[in-house]
Amino acid sequence: MGTGKYKNMSECAKAIKISGAEIVTVAVRRVNISDKKKPLLMDFIDPKKITYLPNTAGCFSSKEALRTLRLAREIGGWKLVKLEVLGDKKNLFPEMIETLNSTEILTKEGFKVMVYCNDDPLMAKRLENAGAAAIMPLAAPIGSGLGILNKVNIQIIRKQTKLPLIIDAGLGQASDATIAMELGCDGVLVNTAIAKAKKPFEMAKAFKNAVVAGRQSFLSGRIEKKIMGDPSSPIKGII
Amino acid sequence: MKKKIKIKINGKLNIIDERTKVSVLLRDLKVPLRKVAIELNREIVDKKKLNKIFLKTNDKLEIVHFIGGG
């Protein structure tokens, strides 16, 4: 789960607990020197219990992203990081050339890089070859709530990679998470859909159930799709 | 009276005593060292070496931590 956009940190911490999320994304920002009473994220979410995934949200170049993640590693020794290099301030789509270059550099520096990317199977393959630890294609633009726009591409990426595949960005409601899991994804990363729901705690619970339902459905092996009907009751013995 | 120097901390101008160690400045600012990372003039500073570095005029110090984000 993402930890941004909540009313306050205790709301965020409670929503995370309810959702059952194991990893949370966090941002690296300047400490407020003048107001030392401001609460710290680590006072609400214990990094010993929940895995912190430092993210480069807000970075628009490889240089900025690398600087951010090197600092993140320094804060707590985290090697597992999320790379997100944005290319456009309006649609927030990833700048994939910079993303690919950064993935290569970070991997060489010993980072385990979970990579936010577009839903392009070819680019996903390039990221995998560059050493990505997880592929995180967007469902739709960040914060848009549109749900998975290109299910076919996600399925193609699923077929071609054994890396963890996590849908990152663009989910709007719990059923979107079910669809992601039914497509064979290993998880979803959700922020706005929960943080900005009218009832964030209820939505956090809904997402938890949706992920479980989707995973069970995927593992159960769905029936084939047919064009014609197939009656559920036997024809034999009809009166 | 000690000579003063100008440095920038997190982008803001600060006037401090000359030959102030980074460790002393951070202690005075009550920065929780275990929860932050320190960058001096764009280079990450090993927290073990903070007491060996003296700040110079025009130094740019960045103190960052984790906050909520997507």
Query: Is A214:A187 a contact under the CB 8 Å cutoff?
Result: no
CB contact under 8 A, B68 and A29: no
**Residue A10's closest chain B neighbor by CA?**
B68
For residue B30, is pLDDT > 90?
no
B29 touches chain A (CB under 8 A): yes
Decide if A232 is inside a domain. no
In angstroms, the CA B31 to CA A31 distance is: 8
Please state, in angstroms and rounded to a whole number, the distance separating the CA atoms of residues B70 and A53: 10
Q: Show the domain range for A202.
A: 9-30+38-218
The pLDDT tens digits of the residues spanning A82-104 come to: 999 999 999 999 999 999 999 99
Q: Give the chain A residue whose CA is nearest to the CA of B10.
A: A30
A233 part of a folded domain: no
Instruction: Cite the active site residues of A.
Output: 82
Mean pLDDT, all residues of chain B? 91
Question: Domain containing A169 — which CATH number?
Answer: 3.20.20.70
The pLDDT of residue B33 = 86
The answer to the question of residue A80 being in a domain is: yes
Q: Do the Cβ atoms of B69 and A3 come within 8 Å?
A: yes
Q: Among B39, B66, B70, whose Cβ lies nearest the Cβ of A42? A: B66
- Our CA-based measurement puts residue B57 at a distance from the nearest CA of chain A, in whole angstroms, of 20
For chain A, how many structural domains are there in total?
1
Tell me if A234 is assigned to some domain. no
Hey, are the CB atoms on A70 and B68 less than 8 Å from each other? no
C-alpha span between A213 and A133 (Å, rounded) = 26
The model's pLDDT over B47-68, given as tens digits with 9 standing for 90+, comes to 889 989 999 999 999 999 998 8
Residue A75 has pLDDT above 80, yes or no: yes
Beta bridge partners of A135: A115, A165
Q: Among B29, B42, B69, select the one facing A26 at the smallest CB separation.
A: B69
pLDDT digits (tens, 9 = 90+) for A126-156: 999 999 999 999 999 998 999 999 999 999 9
Q: Report yes or no on A171 lying in a domain.
A: yes
Domain annotation covers residue A236:
no
Quote the CA–CA distance of A110 and A105 in Å, as a whole number: 9
Q: What is the pLDDT of residues A5-62, one digit of tens each?
A: 999 889 999 999 999 999 999 999 999 887 767 778 888 998 889 999 999 988 999 9
Q: Is residue A2 part of a domain?
A: no
Chain A: nearest CA to B59, how far in angstroms?
Answer: 16
CB contact set of B69 (below 8 Å; sequence gap of 6+): A2, A3, A4, A25, A26, A27, A29, A55, A57, A58
